[in-house]
Structures are given as structure tokens and as C-alpha cells.
Amino acid sequence: MAGPLRLFLSYAHEDSSVAAELRNHLAPLRHEKIVRDWYDHDLVAGSDWDTEIKQQLESSALVLFLVSSDFLASSYAYERELAHALDLHKRGMLRV
């Protein structure tokens, strides 16, 4: 493996506390440079957030979805992130 595994975390904003807790559990893997995870709290104010999310998703090797009723109800998470990730997965570009 060349460098850390790029991981994209997708979730509904209502589940942000669960996403933050998961990131805490991933901390040892970040410290050991096994993974480099990204989620939308890493967005920089004023950036084109839709483009940044798409770029981060497309440059990841693994996508984790925190699936909940709020996730399924979120048109952005469900229709944009999940649909795009599943397409990339089918094409062999990343793992879901």
C-alpha cells in the first residue's frame, strides 16, 4: 500500500455526533498513517462544497456510509453521495 488509505465518511447531518464518534475510533489508524479520513466537517468556509465533496469522494479508496432513517431521508446523502459512490464502486474505482 502506497500511503494511507483514503476514506470518505458519508452521513446525514442529524447523525453528526455518531460521525464524530466514529472519527474518534479511527484516530489510532490516522496516527499510524493507515487511513486518511475525510468528512464534510473538513470543508473550508467559502469553498465550493459540492465540488469539494465530489472530489473527495472520487479520490477515496473506501466510502463508509452511516445509514440511518435520516440518511435515507436526505436527498443529498442518498441521491448524490450514495448513488455516485455506488457507481464508482461498480466501475471498480472504490469500495463501499
Confidence (pLDDT) at 17: 95
Distance CA(5)–CA(7), nearest Å, equals 6
Domain count, the chain: 1
User: In CATH, what number is assigned to the domain containing residue 74?
Assistant: 3.40.50.10140
Evaluate whether residue 86 is within a structural domain: yes
pTM of the model: 0.88
| pLDDT over 60 (residue 1) | no
The domain containing residue 25 runs over which residues? 5-90
Evaluate whether residue 70 is within a structural domain: yes
Quick check: helix, strand or coil at residue 93?
Answer: coil
Mean pLDDT of the 52-75 span: 93
- pLDDT tens digits for 10-58? 999 999 999 999 999 999 999 999 999 988 876 667 778 888 889 889 9
Tell me how many degrees the CA angle 31-65-77 measures, rounded to the nearest 5. Answer: 125
Comparing 52 with 81, the larger pLDDT belongs to 81
Burial category of 61 from C-beta neighbours within 10 Å (exposed 0-12, middle 13-18, buried 19 and up)? middle
